[in-house]
Amino acid sequence: MDKQNVELISFVSKRSGVDENQIHYQTSIEDDLGVTGDDAEELVIEFSKIFKVNIDKFSFNKYFYPEPFLFSSTGPKPKYPLTVGHLANSITSGRLDDSDIQESI
């Protein structure tokens, strides 16, 4: 694994509290790591700063449930999975973009 991927896995591990050995490219940020709502938004923003990835065309609400959902009587809106692999690909392209993510699903 190259240095950049090691740094990404380490970053995700620290932000999620999940051991690095349990994180791989197919790991979903929300479903597998339990990072959602404001925590997910903070993770992506910090990720974009550290890895110099443009997130202007990334819509948080398409990938993460809002925290108030936990107390809502209405069901969740459908979401797309955001994986560690998507983050790795965005480092290469320099952008985390909805259209790129949805093409890979």
3-class secondary structure, 73:
coil
Q: Does 13 reside within a domain?
A: no
Q: How many domains does the chain have?
A: 1
E strands, 4-97, where?
A: none
Q: Is residue 20 part of a domain?
A: no
**Is residue 21, in this structure, part of any structural domain at all?**
no
Sequential pLDDT tens for the chain (105 residues)? 688 899 999 999 999 999 999 999 999 999 999 999 899 999 999 999 999 999 999 999 899 887 655 555 555 565 889 999 999 999 999 999 998 887 776
Q: 13 phi and psi, to 5 degrees?
A: -60, -45
pTM of the predicted structure, to 2 decimals = 0.87
53 is a domain residue? yes
C-alpha 63: how far from chain center: 8
Cα atoms in the Cβ-side hemisphere of radius 13 Å centred on 10: 9
Residue 96 domain boundaries: 30-103
> Is 18 among the domain residues?
no
